[in-house]
Each structure stands twice: as structure tokens, then as C-alpha cells.
Amino acid sequence: MTPIVEAPGEKHLTSSAMLQDIVIGLSDGLTVPFALAAGLSGAVQSSSLVITAGLAEVVAGSIAMGLGGYLAGRTEVDHYSSELAREHEEVRTVPDTERREVQELLMEMGLSEATATQATAELVRDPEQWVKFMMKYELGLEEPDPKQAFKSAFTIAGAYAVGGLIPLSAYFLTATPHEGLLWSGAITLVCLLVFGFFKSRMTGQAPVLGAIKMAATGAAAAAAAFYVARLVQGHGG
């Protein structure tokens, strides 16, 4: 997740990263456990089995998704640290080359050669600012928040758990897996439509089309799991 340059007091980075993590967790949480429950509903006759397997999947999925978010955040931090060390080394060992690169970057931004030369001379007086300039404008890297990996892990895991419990909730209140599947499908599809609508709206896409796409994805996954389970059950019988 690439940090956003912001003025003091602004919260664009945090809200953007958190929104992205919520979207990742919720979208998978709504579809994967729903598909699993649907598949089991086509193969077993006990709602308790669907609930047990579904809860186990939600727990395992939350841990796996949270760990994935943490590792992604740590990878970004480690990559930035590695590139930062490399830039410091280059500034020390090949300063003339790095100085020319600064001037070229400034000229690409529209500064005249004379102005770029003067600005370069000012900038390279401070090695720390010199390196920060190269990191941002040569490599396109901003320093990541070292705490973001933990934040992403908990946000994604929590969103996945919330999303996963939605399709399972119907099985707690119904007598048979078939009845649970009908209610689960209705509840989950409504949630997918609402989630897809607001997700698309916030990301600048067509809200209605986004809602339909997300609901169709969840329905297709559940239908495939259900019929595969029925097919295997019939073949085994």
C-alpha cells in the first residue's frame, strides 16, 4: 500500500490504507465462507456440521488473511529500508553521478538548466534531504508507517471475520442446511450488493455495476461449490 503525501493534520494515508484493508477482508469474508457453507449444504444433512466447518474456516481464514496483510506491510518496510541504505551508499561513493541525476530530475519537472543547477547545489548540501529527494522522485518511494503492518493485519482479519459470520448466521436459525442455504444466500447477496455499491462508489467506479459484479462473483462461487459437492456426493453414492 503506497503512502500518500499529506499536509500536517491530514489523515489521507491512514483512512486510505484502512479502507483498502477493510475491502480486502470483507470481500473475501463474504464470499469464501459463503461458498464453503453452500458446498457443505449440498453434501451434509446437519446444520451443525456446516456451522462447525464454517466457523473453523472463518478462524483459519482470518488468521491467514491477517498474516498476509502483516507480511505485505513488513515487505514494504524492508524494501524501503534496503533502498534507503543503497541510496545513502551511492551518495557517499558516487556523488557526482547522483548529483547529475538530481539535476536531470529537476529539469524533467520543468526547471531550466540554470535553475536546476542552482537547486541541485542547494539540495546536495544536506545528504539526508538529498537521499529523501532521490527516494521520492527517482524511485517513487515514500517512507511507510512501520506500524501499518500490524494495523493491516488486525483490520483485514477483523473484516474477514465479520464478513464470514454473515453467511453463517442463517444456519444458526434454521433447521436444515437447505433452509439455511436459502436464507444465507439471500442475506449474503444483499450484503454483497450493498458492499459492492459503496465500494465502487468510493473508488470512482459505476456503483450499480460494481454491486452486480460483486454479487455475481459471490453467487457463482457458492453455486459452483454447491453443485460440486452434490456431484461428488452423487458419484460417491
Closest by CA position to 140, among listed 96, 87, 97, 100: 87
In the chain, which ranges are continuous DSSP H helix?
12-41, 47-93, 95-108, 113-123, 127-133, 148-172, 177-202, 207-236
Q: Rounded to an integer, what distance in angstroms lies between the CA atom of residue 222 and that of residue 130? A: 54
Task: Convert the pLDDT of each residue in 187-215 to its tens digit.
Answer: 888 888 888 888 777 767 888 888 888 78
CB neighbour list of residue 78: distance below 8 Å, 6 or more residues apart: none
Is the pLDDT at 60 greater than 90, yes or no? yes
Sorted by sequence, the CB contacts under 8 Å of residue 230 that are 6+ apart come out as 42, 43
Lowest mean pLDDT among 2-11, 79-88, 124-133, 136-145: 2-11
Identity of the residue numbered 35? A
Q: What is the dihedral of CA 68, 72, 75, 79, to 10 degrees?
A: 170
Kindly indicate the confidence band of residue 1, based on its pLDDT and cuts at 50, 70 and 90. very low
Q: How many CA atoms lie within 13 A of 234 on its CB side?
A: 7
Give the tens place of pLDDT for each residue, 30-48. Answer: 888 888 888 888 778 888 9
Q: What is the pTM of this model?
A: 0.74
pLDDT at 64 over 90: yes
Q: How many CA atoms lie within 13 A of 60 on its CB side?
A: 9
Half-sphere exposure of 119 (CA within 13 A, CB side): 16
Q: Is residue 58 within 8 Å of residue 33, measured between CB atoms?
A: yes
Q: What is the model's pLDDT at position 10?
A: 45
CA atoms within a 13 Å half-sphere pointing along the CA-CB vector of 201 = 9
Mean pLDDT of 213-235: 73
**Quick check: 44 and 53 in contact, CB under 8 A?**
no
Q: What is the pLDDT of residue 2?
A: 40
pLDDT for residue 5 is more than 60? no
Q: Which of 24-28, 117-121, 224-228 has the lowest mean pLDDT?
A: 224-228
Least confident of 77-91, 179-193, 210-224: 210-224
Pairwise CA distance, residues 27 & 37, whole Å: 16
Work out the average pLDDT over 124-137: 85
